[in-house]
Amino acid sequence: MTVDYDPRDPQIRNNPFPSFRRLQDEDPVHWNPHLRAWVITRYADVRKVALSRRMSPDRLTPFYDSLPEARRGVVGELIRYLNLWMVFRDPPEHTRLRRLMNEAFTPKAVERLRPNVERIVGRLLDDLLPRGEMDLVRDFAYPLPATVIMDMLGVPHDQLDRFKDWSDDLALFLGSARDVPDKYERARRGALEMSSYFREVIADRRRRPGEDVLSALIAVGTPEERLTEDELIAAAMLFLFAGHETTTNLISNGIYSMRMHADAWARLVADPSPELLATAVEECLRYDGPSGGIARVVRVTHEMEGRELKEGDRVFAMLNAANRDPRVFEAPDDFVIDRSPNRHLTFGQGIHFCLGAPLARLEAEIACREIARRIPDLTLGTTAPDWHDSLIMRGITSLPVHFRPVKSAAA
């Protein structure tokens, strides 16, 4: 029997895991008529897709080439910048971009952000604790990583709302499972406004270099291989979008998962040690992680699990399905706060392993530690959350929570 996996169905979107299990058992390399693409769900196969040179991350060029001429005019400027994101590039372009960005975004540079992340978390909670309630996504999980990225890029905090609007428009284009009538125009407008903003910021950094990542990106490499103006703008757009989107989802999904498992939350409240925090965050990444899947285009026709994947076919490798594959994980549907080993695929594999993974982990560990310490009685609202309509990003749209108001902000 064919499994009817329709990601547009709100019930499947909110809880895709039963469908994923059926696909793993009955149709692990599944041709999906709703997506007109392959859906891959087993751990070993998803890992193969992530590592395969027979697959390309450049899904934008064939998409653009397939559009009618009138539609190309709408998305041309959008594709101009998105096609320079290293996540959509194959070697050798990807190799060059990754090397230069690695020079500016080192582990030491990430660790230097720790005091600032702790300050931002403390300030947000100081403002929220007297209320006794908040929307965890809107009031905490979004502004935390967005503010961290803004500080990294050296842009003022009063741009937060503008950045959110731009990012929301890009997310609609990059990850949506549904056909919103104006999503191309919205994404184009968001990309143009964002690129115009960063063009001015980059010009200012050339005149007055600072300690921020943009200044570092301008300076890295030899004169012959430095990032072009458009590559710098694209890098700033990627840092802003990917740098907060994933971490927002990680924090909100993670707190939701832990509060749905009272024993896990009680353990973290009782012991917010670095060791337990580290394994807790890894389990949040595995159990219902912030990245639903990765998209690829078949470069070379080949077989997988007896199915022929033809050149030009689109492929969605579902990371969150792989992370609950019983062939790899014991009791995969249980949230085990100290699970070890935990070889989840959430940040990808190989050359496209997420550059921002250390920062996402750092922010999530500090956020979970301080929420467990300062809001141990946090409880979820009575309504089950809705999830973003996206195959690529996996996140809660809104998460009302309640707790005992605390008048004093003293820790």
The per-residue pLDDT for range 264-293, each reduced to its tens digit, is 999 999 999 999 999 999 999 999 999 999
Looking at residue 225, what is its pLDDT? 84
Can you tell me the mean pLDDT for 76-101? 89
Query: Which two tokens mark 178?
Result: 């549904």
Look at residue 410 and tell me if it is in a domain: no
Looking at residue 179, what is its pLDDT? 59
User: Measured between alpha carbons, how far is 278 from 247 in angstroms, rounded to an integer?
Assistant: 15
Amino acid identity of residue 263, one-letter, is: D
Can you tell me the mean pLDDT for 13-41? 95
C-alpha distances (whole Å) from 170 to each of 41, 87, 97, 167 are 26, 15, 21, 5
Look at residue 411 and tell me if it is in a domain: no
Look at residue 375 and tell me if it is in a domain: yes
Nearest partner of 408 among 119, 120, 124, 126, judged by Cα: 126
| CATH number for position 289 | 1.10.630.10
pLDDT digits (tens, 9 = 90+) for 94-128: 999 999 988 888 788 888 899 999 999 999 999 99
- Mean of per-residue pLDDT scores for the chain: 91
Structurally, the chain folds into a number of domains equal to: 1
User: Measured between alpha carbons, how far is 22 from 16 in angstroms, rounded to an integer?
Assistant: 10
Which residue's structure tokens are 């690829």? 296
Looking at residue 4, what is its pLDDT? 83
pLDDT digits (tens, 9 = 90+) for 320-350: 999 999 999 999 999 999 999 999 999 999 9
Looking at residue 411, what is its pLDDT? 46
Residue 367 and residue 374 in contact, taking contact as beta carbons nearer than 8 Å: no
Residue 393 and residue 291 in contact, taking contact as beta carbons nearer than 8 Å: yes
Taking the alpha carbons at both ends of the chain, their separation in whole angstroms is 57
Can you tell me the mean pLDDT for 173-191? 73
Asked if pLDDT for residue 247 goes beyond 50, the answer is: yes
Look at residue 258 and tell me if it is in a domain: yes
Look at residue 405 and tell me if it is in a domain: no
Domain membership of residue 244 as a residue range: 10-400
Which residue's structure tokens are 């490798």? 317
Look at residue 39 and tell me if it is in a domain: yes
